Each structure stands twice: as C-alpha cells, then as structure tokens.
Structure 1
Amino acid sequence: MCTTTDCVRVASRIHDAIDYKVKPCDNFYEFACGTWKKKNVIPEDKSAYSSFDLVADDVNVILKNALEDKETEADIEPAKKAKRLYRSCLDTEKIESLGTKPLDDFIPKIGGWPVLMSSWSDAGFDLKDLLVTLAKYNNWPLISLSVYTDMKNVDKNILYLDQPSLGMPGQKYYFKERNDTMIMAYENLAVQVATMLGADKTVAEQDMKDMVDFEILIANISVPSEERRDSEKLYNKMTIAQLAQNYSEFDWLGYINSIMSSPKIQIDITEDEEIINYSPPYFDKLFSLLNNTPKRTLANYCTWRIVRHRISSLGKAFRDLNLEYSKVLYGTSTESARWKKCVGKANSILGKVVGKIFVGEAFDEAAKADMLKLIGNLKVAFEGQLFSNDWMDESTRKAAKEKYTITEDEYFSNIINFIQESVAEDLRELRKPIDKTKWSMVPSAVNAYYSSTRNEIVFPAGILQPPFYHKNYLKALNYGGIGMVIGHEITHGFDDQGRQYDKTGSLRQWWSDDVVEVFKTRAQCVIEQYGNFTVKEADLQINGINTQGENIADNGAITQSFKAYRHWVSQERNEEPKLPGLDFSPNQLFFINFAQVWCNSMRKQSAISRVLTGVHSPGKFRVIGTLQNSPDFAKTFGCPVSSYMNPEKKCKVW
C-alpha cells in the first residue's frame, strides 16, 4: 500500500470521481466519471467542462500571478511587453472611456464599411485591393493565403492557397433552414454591431441579410471536411502563371505580390512562383459566385469579418452582444472573469514569453527526464505493435519503423499592432530555411500535438500535471494519463492522414497498395463503430469519418501505453502497490486514470458544435469506444464476452 501524501491525495481524487453504483463492464465511462459529473457543474461562462479545464484553470492562476508582478530590471523586454499587454486588457475604465472610437478610427483605414456609409458607391470598389488590405490584419474572408512547409519537399516553405474559414463555427451551421435560430442569431449580431456603430437600422437589416445569404453560398461551395482528409488530393502544386490560367477572372499575381511585397514582408513574387492550391473545387465555383454578387454585399461581408473579430476589444456594450450570441451558439450565460480573458489574450499573442514565465514558475526539470524514460518505453511498445501486425508487408513495416510595440494605454491598438506583426512574421517564412525547432503550441498549453511534415510529437509543460502526470504518482497512473496522451500523438503518425507522410515528413505513398487497402478496411471498422454512437446532449450521431484519425490514435495508444507500462513493471521486476481506500490493482488504476482524464460535461449547444465541427469524439466515447476494442481492458476487469464494454466484434488498426 502506498501511503505517501501524494498517494493519499490521488486516491481521494480517483475515489471522488467514481460512481460505484455502475459496474465497470456495463459502462466504464459512467463508472469512472459518474460522480465527477455530479460534483463538477459546468460554470456559467463555459459551454463544457472537463478534466482538461481543471488543469487549465490552475495554469491560468499561475500565469495571472506572474503577469501581475511588477516589471523589474531583470525582466527581459518580451516579458515586460506581456505584462503591459495584460494591464492594458485589464484597464476596462480606459476601454469604456474610448467607446467606439478605436473601431471608428480603424474602419476607414480598411476602406470603410458600406452599411455605415450614406454615400457608398461601388464605382471605385476593387475587391482585390480590399482583400490585400485585410490580409495585413490576418483576415482572409474569401481567399486564404499562408506559408507552410512544402509537404513533398519538407526542407523548404511554399505558399498555400485555400478556402477561407467562416463566420460561424463550421460549414454545417449554414446548411440549416434560413430562419434557424443560430443563423438568425449570427445575422442579428451583425445588425446590432452595425447600428451601434451608427448604421440606420433599416439599412443594416437589409444589408446584413444580404451578407448572410452570401455567406451561406460561400459555405455551400466550400469543400466539406470529410473530403479534406486525403493530403494527396489536396496537394495541387502549380505556378502563379498556371493559377492565373485556371482562374483568369482574378489578378492573382497582383493580389499575392501586393501582400508579399508589403513593407513588413518585402518579398517580391513573380508569375513563376510555385503555390499549392489546396481547394480547387472551391475556386472552380468562387468567381462565378462573386460575379453574380453585388459589390456592396461583397464589401459588407469582407469588412464584417474583421469587425466581428475586433469588437471583443471594445467596451461592455459590445461584449454583451457577443455574450447574447454565445448564449445561442454555446449556451454560456455570463462572461469569463476579465483576468482570465486577459491571461488568454497575453498567452495567444505572446505565447513564447508567457510560456517561459510559466515554465520558470511551475515546471519541474525532473519531469523532463521522467518523460524521456516513459517515451522510450512507449517506443518499444509501439514497435512491438508494428511488428505484430499481420496485415503489413515486410517492406512497409520496415519503412514505418524508420519513420512589435506594446503600450499600457490602448488595448485595441495593441491587438491590431500584434496582428500586423504576426501575419507578416508568418509570411516572411517563405524565403527562410525550415526551423524544425519551432512549436505550433505555446508551452503553457494543456494539450499535445503531432506534426506530419516534421514527424515529431510535442507535449508542452502545461500538460505535465495531474491527472496526466506527477513525478510521485504510481507509474500506472502516469502511463494511463500522459503515457496515453503521448501514445496518441505517436499513433497519429500512422492514422488515416499521418500514414501519408514518410519518416522525413514528406507526402508520398510509402505503403504498398495492398497494405493501404487493408488499412482502409480496418479504418472503416472504426468509422462505423464511432458513427453508431449517439451524443444524447445533441441528439446527433458522431461523424465517424471526421473523427477517425483521433479515434485510431486513441485505440492505438491504449494498447501501446498499457504494454509500455507492463514493460516498465517487467524491468522493475516488481508490481506496484495499491492506493489507500481503493480496492483496485495497478493495472485497473491504469484504465481508471485514462478514463478520468476524459471526464466532462457539455451543454446541448456545445455538444452540437462538437459533433458538427469537431475531429475528436466527445470524452465519453473516447473512453467507451477505445476500451470496447481493448482485450487488455476486458481481461483486467474480467468483462464477459458480449457485455457492453467487451463486444464480440472489435476494431483493431494498431
């Protein structure tokens, strides 16, 4: 029996989450999380609440305390900027005193918003010029342009052309009836913002109706996410000259060169520049739509997309409009505490330096060494999975083995200045060598990720906390927590998308055709299994296609992490002790901690959003779906064949 203070604490946490009235083999998620859900009511400012949120709350408190410390001579300049940004965000008195002036001053700089202008004329309107101007502020309402690693030549960067994101959370929101509550809430938000900025209400109502009608058409010509999982089909490399031949209605060279040759970027683009068109079907239909849309509607829509993002930097009246909209879309009924918003903004804008502050305050260096050992065992376990598969041929199996200015005075201006610098910094990467040390996530994030083009996994300091990890926990808990997370990211390299990239991160088919077909058959089992789960809060079934990559990663990870734990036990030649007050073996604790990582509650609106737009299954089904396929789980808990948690038919990819 482990009776240390840390063991007593974690035993209490595990015990308090379990619903002992539910049998593990009947529904392991309800068994592991039933009481957690009763005790952890969703806060009014959140649409959902989970174990991840509990950890993130702790991280935010640490960051709040650090950002509220006074500047000292010892602070590096970026740390001083982070503190100034945080203070400018907290200064609501100054924000309120400025009213709409920051946005009133900003809108004319981008060409004006027709809905606010009594004398707007389409005679001088040039869509290309407006799109170039908006690009400086990282706003891409019709055409998305970015710089990223060339998927087939990972030693260089290249321009990517893609369809844009939309104003509502996802494409499927636009496929509802025109008078749907969510669509009307979006339209009403635009009307109210316009009238608060001085528009005539009657004009605003007509203009915003036309604008939303147009956005619905944009959504309809966009390629659905289910059809964007095959990277080979998305990879359409061509020169700008060829792009101009394909879509002669638009001045592509003028558009791209105007953005890239701006003073902050200073890269000249010629018609011989290569670019990857990531969404040909969208662009095939876009220009016909634009030609049949009034210029006033185009100007209103494009400008609305940047106004929509900037109202959160204004006073309470505008934040209240956002809150009313959020009530409809997400079910939240109150704003988050101001300090939480300001910590989040500082973290998103100056994530590296804020992360450095967090690491200095909270990261135990011993955790890094511990993680390296754990990863070593996970690699051994995954290699075992790889070589035990009977559906891979020898050659494929062998290849798989190798595989800016901040002031305290003006919050709105601070955000605008950062956005301009940030988008310029990203686009300047076009002519720079690939920086393989650069992260896509801030150090304080309670998350992890896998990069296909770098073939690397990254797990920041923020996630190395309970329930995922603690240096004094039983290894069973750490392997069930952070071990599962890391195994999940490793397996992403071999899911339906990751398998398309080789050991260098290059996009190419390195599996034989026969192996690909067997993989697809096995993946289809996972698609159908999860597609049959109904999320009762939303009364919708999970999208098995969109979530397949994450589900495959979960399933591979549970096998990998459990085998890695048992490998550790065999190395130590000694089973771990039990925890006080809990009649569970270490093997059982492994699965319990895995499940409790995913304890969560969702409002109806959040559940709908996750099903319609998410690539992850809800936490409940990340537990149930994964463990239904796990012989190790069934054996550990003695679940009879054909019980809910041990069905006869199981899906196995890895």
Structure 2
Amino acid sequence: MATWQAFSYLPPINSTNLTTTTSTSTTTITTDFPFPTPGNDLCANADGDVHEGGSASPNHINFSFGAENSTCLTGECIRLAANYLNNMNRDASPCEDFYEFACGKYATRRVIAEHEKKVTVLSEMKRELDRHLKDILEKTPRENATRSMKLAQIYFDSCMDEFAQDDLGVQPLMSLISNLGGWPLLTNARFDSIDFQWEVLAGHLALYGIDGIFRVFVHSSFDDSNKHVLMFSPPKLFLEKKKFYREVPSSNVYLQYYRQYILSLLSLLGVDMEDETGVIEYQVDDIIDFERRIANLTRIELSRNHSSINNMISFGDFKKKYDKINWDAFFNEEMRSNLGRMPDSLLINVVDINYFDNLYSLIKSKPLSSINNFLMWCLVSNYDFYLPAKFRKPMLEFRQKMYGVSSDDPLWEVCVGEVRDNLAMPLSTEYAHKFFTKREKGVAEDMIRDLKKAMEHTLLNADWIDESTREAALMKLDAMGHKIGFPDSLLNETAVLLPYAGVRLTANQFFDNAISLKKAAYRDSLSKLHRTPSVIDWASPIIAVDAFHYFTGNEIIFPAGILQFPMFVPDAPSFANYGAIGMGIGHEITHGYDDLGAQYDEKGNLRGWWHTETMTTFQKKKQCFVAQYGSKVEPHTGRKVDGKMTIGENIADNGGLRVAFQAYQLKLDREKETRRLPGLTEFSPNQLFFLAYANTWCEALKPSAIDHIMDTDVHSLGMFRVNVPLQNLPAFSKEFDCPIGSPMNPQTSALNANEKLVACCAQDPQIDKGCASKYCNFGQITQFMVLPFIADSKHDHTECCTNQNVLPLCRAFCNASKAVPTDMLKYGLCTSEFDKYRLCFRTHLKHHEAIRH
C-alpha cells in the first residue's frame, strides 16, 4: 500500500502506492520524449530547445491578465491565496531556487510536534481528515448508526479507554500466549521440544496477521488480473529495510536500538532481568541473529523486475520441492476453511525463490527453542501496542533513537488510525456521505479526461518509440480505468459488513477487539482466493491522503481523502487544481509507463509489450534520472538522494508535471483563465500553475529524522520533488524568464547541440544513420568542443588529463599528439558515459577562447 506521502503506485504485493509550445489560443504538442529526460549535463533536454531567458527578479515579475479579468474573492480563493502567500519567500529568486521561492516560509511557520518526524502539506491534510473522522466517530448518534458504524464506534471507544486497558494490564496478551502453547523465555522455564512443531505455531500466528518466518496471502494474479492467487513471500522486517541488518550487531547501531527495545519490553512483561540477565540477553541476541539471517536471505526488496517475483508453481510441486517443511501442519483447519479447495494442481506464486530455497537450511541451523523464541517475539512485538500505555514506552524510546520523535502520537489520532486501519469501510461510508459531492467528482472527471488527452498527444509524438510499442501504449491508455471518491458499493450496508462477518466487539476490551478484527481481515483476504477481484477492494484507502496506481488493474484511484484543500479546490481557478491534483493525476498515469508500469499491459497483466530497442532506449533514459537525482545533496546531512530507490516516483513526478501542464494548456484552449487570486495578480496563469505545483510539496523536516526518511521513503524530499522536475521542463524557465545557466535553467547553448547528440545517438550504439544526419555532425561537434581544447598548446591540461577520476577513454582525448580515432570519438560522444568525459573538459572550458567563441 502506498504511504500517505501522496502519489505513488500501489505495489503489486499488498499486505492486507512532454513538451508543449503554448499560447492562449492554440496548443501545439511537440514532444520528443513522453518520459522527460533531465535537461542538464547528464541527459538530453526533453524539448530539444533551450529557453534563452533573461534576468528574472522575484520582485519584478509582472504579467498582466488583461482588463477583462477579475479577482476571485470567494472564501476558497481567499484561503488559497493566503496559503500561497504565507508559504512564499519573496526574497528568493524563482530562477535560483523555486522551492525556496514558493515554500521558503512554510517551515518557519510550522512547529514540528514531538511525536512527528516532519510536517508537510499532506500531513496537514491528513490531520484535517482525521479531525473529520474523529467527529464522525464521536458525534454520530448511536441509536441511528448502522451496524457497521457501531462496530467502528465501539472499537474507537475501547482504544480511547486507557483506564480499562490499565485494569486489564498484561493479562490479554498472556492469555493469547498461553493459548498458543506458552513462551518459556518469559518465566525462564525449560523449553520442551517433544511436541513442538514450529509450522503449527506459524500457521496460528498467520491467523492473527503475523508473518513469522514467511508470509502467505492472497493477491490478484500478475498473469491474469481477473484472478486471485495464493502467494508465498519472505516476512516483513521489523526494521523495515534489509540495509539495517547488514552489519553485525556489535557495529550496527540500529540492531543495538532493536536489542534494547526487546530487553526493555521483556522486563515490563515480568522477565527476571536481574538473576537471569545473561540467559535472557543470550536468547535476545539469538532472536536478532535469526531475524538478521532472514533479512540476508531476501532478494526482492528493491526488485523492479516483476517477472522475477512472478514464479508460478503448482501447490503439489511446491510441497514436494520444499518437503522438509510440514505444509499440512502450517495450513490449519481455519485457514483451509477460508481458502476453500486447495488441490495439488492449484497454481501459487513463490515471490522469492531464493528465500525458500535456503529457508530450511536456516531453520535447521537453529534449535527449536530459537525458532519458538523468534515466533513468540513476532507475536509480542505486533501486539504490545494494544497493552496499557506503559508497555508502549520501549517502542517510544526506540523511535526516539531511530528518528528523533520524543512523544507518542495524541491518543485520539492513534485511535482514529486504528479504526481507519481495521474498520475502514464503515468509516469511509460516513465520510463519503458527509464530505464528498457529485460536483467534486465531476470536476475531477473532467481533469482526468484532459490529462489522458495530454498523455495521448505525448505518446503520439514520441519519435523514439517504435510503432508497435506506441500502439500498445495507446491501447493501455485507452483502457486505463479511474476511480474517483468512493465506490458505490459503500452505499450497501450488507457489502460493507461482509469483511467483518462474525465479528463481535466489546466495550472496554481493546486488546481482544484488535485480535477479532485482525483475524477477520486475514480470513476475508484468504476467502478471496477463488473470487474475482471486486471494485469494493479499493474502498479501504479512500480515507487516506493518497492516490494510487493499481498495476494489476490498469487503473488510477483518487480517493475522497486526497480530494480536499489545498490539493483540490473545485471552485478555484483552474491553475490551482491542474498544478496540484492535476499533477497527481498525471503522476499516476505516468506510473503506468514507468519502469514498473511498463511491465503490465492494458489488462493489467504482467507481459512484455515493448520492442527491445525501445525498451533499451527507455532504460538509458531511466539511468539519466538515477544519475540526476543521485547527484542532489540534502543540505542538512550532506547526503545524496538515493536515485535508484526513488526512481519510480521521480519518473512519475517529472512525467506528471509535464502532462499536467499540457492538460492545463488544453483547458485554456477551451476557456480562458479570467480569475485572479488576491495578492497574486502579478503572476500569469501559467506561473500560478507552477506555484500551485510547488505548494503541494512544502515541508518542514526534523533534522534528527532526515536520515531515516531518506533511508526508507521511495519519494524524494520536497525540495527535489519541486526543483528537479521544473529544471527539466523548459516551459517553466520560459514562464519565469530564467536565464540560461541559472540553477532552475541549467542548460547552456554551447552544450545543447551535444545534448541533442547524446539523446539521439543513445538510441543505438551503432548510431542510426537517419538520426545521425539530423544531429550527429561529429566533425562540427568535435571541432567546436573537443579538438580546439586538445590542440590549444597555450594552456596546461595536466590537471584535467592526469586526474585519476577521469576515465582512460577521456584521457585518450587529452592526448594532443595523436589524432582521435573516429570510432573512439563516436563511442565517447554517443554513450550515456559521455557526461563523465565532458567533466574532464569542462574543468577548464571557460578559460579557452576557442571554446568560448
């Protein structure tokens, strides 16, 4: 599931995210690349043009709307204008740092609460949404509430009742542990292995929503989106990412934090930490070692090749291949009754073959007592949250060390979140009734049509895509579905109650209520194995501030939760909506063609539909993004962005912005933008589009949390989500009259011809002759950029040419005594490595008259 940091794809494994030339009257689509390539030294400019620009001063931007325009003074317009103005730093230049210009005052006006890692526009939207949900839970009259709503209210009340939780103490957890066979570590009792089967315990834990040693769940099939399939995968890791487990515990600060958390919680649960310290610490270290070995077995964490996680095998063959594991013991009666028929011919998906190939060796290397300790710890670490507040203190201390939060979330926010996570459908129904209208849905529908039309133009004009791939891409766009707001099925109380069949919640029993709901969720998931995926399946995220792309459904989803101020303001001028939620729509559409979406066809099935050469070109463009974002430095920590981890979201950000801007131009073709915002009349509609875009990603970060955010979030930080896509969009520099070479318009006219050359020639290592005749004038490029530099004997090139960081091929160019071989020249200029070679020459480029003139 995508996080609340909006605009992501929804991962295929769910645990239950272009250039336009414009005028006010016409729009000409002249796109070279549907997925924009960065317009700096790393890659070609997507337009093939560089805006010459001027010198823009933030205090002297004056673009008149014309006499026929009026200032919008509705409540929504005033609120929107105030939002932009309060965030804006007018002392900053939009051509130097547009994020600072648009969002420079945002952080100074926010206080990051002790329990938060950051404050963002999206987190503020979530807080507002949570207040609405709290009011629904507290103020909906019980006597008039539906049965499903009463369940939500009972669960909320039991979560809020800390006195009842204190009265129960640790007893509910101890009862659960006892029912599962007990945990000798808690009482320092002797472990009896005679009747212990770890598979039996793992199967029972699965019913409580706990992964244990592996996950078994139902998901839509990668091969046929009209079917569900049973999937086997590695478990979720407590520390989230495999990278946190790599170093040995003695030198791994994250594992040390984890160890202290375990010891502190065990102490609160009554473990004798004085007389048995050594024994307990040994067992805790063993638990961590087992989990660390599990982490090191996994290979799919960053896999962006979904064919590698689509490993279909019959259930019978699976059991034979991994016959050392007692699968009949794992699949207990309750699991089988919900899964239905499970013949040996049933096809299942083993997501990580390597993990299961090596799993039994890991299990065999440990005594049964170690496996029991690990599984029981999985239970305790998943359910300590539902104990009285004092038992949550070790987790708070862990969070303090990991990312600097110094208090728990306010109780009401915690409890709203619990209802959202476990009873989403009834809460969604009430929210949709109260806060989402047909008017809002209509405005969003119109925008989606414009965004899809803009993407269609993009695909039609992409000259690097072969015709068969273009036809398939257009077919996928035409078939791409969209859902807005909430499904009509939420209006059916019977359908809303279906996932909670048999659930009985009791006031003052928070722990037991949580168990009932988690078991119901897992039962409901298993019961879908033989059912066709249903539209009601998308209901759960509608009260999330997020948007989704379902690869296996080829559809984009914009829940009611994201369609609120300031992301979506239905009656505001169009620039506000197209720049904010419009970019989000474009972002989700682009996900259908990013490096993951490109693997799924128009039916949402995992299938290769790209021509080999076109895919090769795309992969090179993708590497441009990896390199561009990977060169960006977060100023507080000095860390560079992880260009690989964030690649999918970065592609979607760049594509989404471009397509949204095109769609806005289409909107202006139909109806001129006549309304202005108070206090912002000096800005043109196009400039306000970019201002709306930037305001989506304003944020204030807690310094102690930045490392953790950059380690775990697949989205780039806000400053990079704003500035990098704008640097890659020449229309932005044109609108703000940013001079060439300014930070927001980094292209230079001297390099532009070569950037065209690299982009063109990269399509084919042998250099397509048609392309070469258009751009690849090697003699001219060489004479202009390379040979004069080499031939110039007046200057010492030693520093550049002997630099050990310069590739050998680059040093070959520096050998003035020899002619540069044509093949070497072609190789150097027509590969994605050329940016490295150019760095060699750019060191002294500005000092050479032959280059300068």
Deviations 1:615-644 (A, max 9, x none): 211222111221111112121111222221
Q: Does 1:394 align with 2:394?
A: no
Equivalent of 1:382, from 434, 450, 455?
455
Query: What are the residue-to-residue correspondences of 1:84-163 with 2, within 5 Å?
Result: 84-117=154-187, 118-163=189-234
Q: Distance in 1 between matches of 2:705 and 2:333?
A: 40
Kindly state the Cα deviation for residue 76 of structure 1 after the two structures are TM-superposed. Answer: 1.0
Note if 1:333 corresponds to 2:406.
yes
Tell me, yes or no, if the aligned pair for 1:487 and 1:558 is still in contact at 8 Å: yes
Alpha-carbon separation, structure 2, partners of 1:40 and 1:446:
20
Q: Does 1:274 align with 2:347?
A: yes
Q: Contact conserved, 2:314 with 2:346, CA < 8 A, in 1?
A: yes
Find the aligned partners of 1:25 and 1:266 in 2 and give their Cα distance.
Answer: 59
Kindly provide the amino acid, as one letter, of the partner of residue 438 in structure 1: D
1:276-425 correspondence to structure 2 within 5 Å: 276-403=349-476, 404-425=503-524
| Structure 2 residue 135 is matched with structure 1 residue 62 | no
CA contact (8 A) 1:327 1:333 kept: yes
Structure 1 residue 36 and structure 2 residue 117: aligned?
A: no
1:224 deviation in Å?
A: 5.0
For residue 260 of structure 1, the aligned residue among 332, 335, 354 is: 335
Once residues 338 and 296 of structure 1 are traced to their aligned partners in structure 2, the CA distance between those partners, rounded to angstroms, is 37
2:537 aligned residue (438, 445, 456): 438
SS in structure 1 at match of 2:408: coil
Q: Note closer, same or farther for the CA distance 1:390–1:441 as it changes in structure 2 (3 Å cut).
A: farther
Shift in Å, 1:258: 5.1
CA shift digits 1:553-595 (9 cap, x unpaired): 11111110011111101101x2333322122111111111111
Percent identity between the two aligned chains: 33
Aligned-pair distance for 1:259?
Answer: 6.1
Matched position secondary structure for 2:249: coil
Q: Provide, for residues 241-273 of structure 1, a one-character-per-residue CA deviation record: whole Å limited to 9, x for no partner.
A: 2223432321235434656314xx152323222
Q: Which of 253, 256, 270 is the equivalent residue of 1:198?
A: 270
Query: In structure 2, what is the equivalent of residue 525 of structure 1?
Result: 624
- Aligned residue for 2:293, secondary structure, equals helix
Deviation string, structure 1 residues 19-58 (Cα, Å, up to 9, x no partner): 1222111111111111001111211111111000111111
- Is 1:540 the equivalent of 2:639? yes
Cα drift, residue 65 of structure 1: 1.1
Larger gyration radius, structure 1 or structure 2 = 2
The amino acid across from 1:358 in the alignment is: Y
Q: Distance in 2 between matches of 1:353 and 1:34?
A: 40
Matched, 1:213 2:286: no
1:603 aligns with 2:678: no
For 1:70 and 1:8, locate their aligned partners in 2 and report how far apart those are by CA, in whole Å.
Answer: 32
Quote the offset at 1:350 in angstroms.
Answer: 0.8
Per the alignment, in what secondary structure is the counterpart of residue 676 of structure 2? coil
Shift in alpha-carbon separation, 1:482–1:490, aligned structure 2, 3 A? same
Pick which of 35-44 and 6-15 moved more.
6-15
Give SS of 2:543's match: coil
Q: Distance in 2 between matches of 1:246 and 1:642?
A: 61
State the one-letter code of the partner of 2:659. Q
- Residue 577, structure 1, aligned to residue 658, structure 2: no
Pairwise CA RMSD: 1.9
Task: Indicate if the aligned counterparts of 2:103 and 2:695 stay in contact, CA closer than 8 A.
Answer: yes
Paired AA for residue 459 in structure 1: F
Q: Contact (CA 8 Å) 2:72, 2:676: kept in 1 or not?
A: no
* Residue 79 (structure 1) aligned with residue 117 (structure 2): no
Q: Tell me: CA distance 1:177–1:591, structure 2 relative to 1, closer, same or farther (3 Å).
A: farther
For 1:257 and 1:151, locate their aligned partners in 2 and report how far apart those are by CA, in whole Å: 27
Which is worse superposed, 536-545 or 372-381? 536-545
Q: State yes or no: 1:2 paired with 2:2.
A: no
Quote how far apart the aligned CAs of 1:13 are: 1.1
Letter in 2 for 1:225: E
Question: After superposition, what is the alpha-carbon deviation per residue over 1:206-251, rounded to whole angstroms, capped at 9, x for unaligned?
Answer: 211111122111111111533x110112111111222234323212
Counterpart of 2:309, as a letter, is L
The residue aligned with 2:595 is 496
Letter in 2 for 1:164: P
Please identify, of 616-625 and 411-420, the stretch whose mean Cα deviation from structure 2 is larger: 616-625
- For 2:207 and 2:556, the matched residues in 1 are separated by 31
Alignment map for 1:220-259 (pairs within 5 Å): 220-223=296-299, 225-226=301-302, 228-256=303-331
Partners of 1:110 and 1:248 in 2: CA distance: 25
- What letter matches 2:282 in structure 1? Q
Between the aligned partners of 1:20 and 1:606, the Cα distance in structure 2 is 28
Task: String of CA shifts for 1:469-517, please: whole Å, max 9, x gaps.
Answer: 1122111010011101111111111010001010000110011111111
1:466 to 565, 572, 579: 565
Partner in structure 2 of residue 16 of structure 1 = 86
For structure 2, which runs of at least 5 residues remain unmatched after alignment? Answer: 1-69, 477-502, 761-853
Task: Classify the secondary structure of the residue corresponding to 2:105.
Answer: helix
**3-state DSSP of counterpart to 1:159:** strand
1:332-385 Cα offsets, whole Å, 9 max, x none, are: 111111111111111111111111111222223210011111111111111111
Residues matched between the structures, number: 649
Name the SS for the 2:675 alignment partner. Answer: coil
SS at match of 2:230: strand
TM-superposed deviation, 1:539? 3.9
Partners of 1:240 and 1:272 within 8 A in 2: yes
* DSSP 3-state at the match of 1:276: strand
- Aligned mates of 1:122, 1:47 — CA distance in 2: 44
Per-residue deviation, 1:538: 4.5
User: 8 Å contact 2:89–2:103 — kept in the other structure?
Assistant: yes
Which runs of no fewer than 5 residues in structure 1 stay unpaired?
A: none
- Please say if residues 116 and 199 of structure 1, whose CA atoms lie closer than 8 Å, have aligned partners that are also in contact: yes
In the alignment, the residues of structure 2 paired with residue 175 and residue 624 of structure 1 have an alpha-carbon distance, to the nearest angstrom, of: 33
1:68 Cα deviation after fit: 0.6
TM-score (norm 1): 0.96
Question: What amino acid sits opposite 2:633 in the alignment?
Answer: T
Once residues 418 and 459 of structure 2 are traced to their aligned partners in structure 1, the CA distance between those partners, rounded to angstroms, is 42
Give CA deviations for 1:113-152 in whole Å, capped at 9, x if unaligned: 2311412223332111111111111111211111111111
Q: State the one-letter code of the partner of 1:589.
A: L
The structure-2 alpha-carbon separation of the partners of 1:233 and 1:24, relative to structure 1 and needing over 3 Å to count, comes to: same
- Of stretches 532-541 and 31-40 in structure 1, the one that deviates more from structure 2 is 532-541
